[in-house]
Amino acid sequence: MVPLSVQEIRRLLCRILWRGAHSIAYVLSWSAWRRRHQYRAQQCHYRRRGCVPPVYLDLRL
């Protein structure tokens, strides 16, 4: 997964503290799905261009 960015942490805190229609479990699972999707997209991007991905992309959390 892609590491948590400052913006992602801010978004999670806002969603959890001022939650409306969604539960905390839903917000956290959606964030995990989003970060996994970003990881896969970055892997495809680097593979397509024949580049070496950054070190943090090799870590599977």
Q: pLDDT tens digits, residue range 11-49? A: 888 888 886 777 888 888 988 999 899 888 888 888 888
Q: What is the structure's pLDDT at 9? A: 87
Q: DSSP code of 18?
A: T
Burial letters 19-45, b for 16+ CB under 10 A, else e: eeeeeeeebeeebeeebeeebeeeeee
pTM over 0.75: no
Q: What is the structure's pLDDT at 61? A: 47
For the chain, the structural domain boundaries read 6-58
Assign 55 a pLDDT band (cuts: 50, 70, 90). low
Q: What is the structure's pLDDT at 48? A: 83
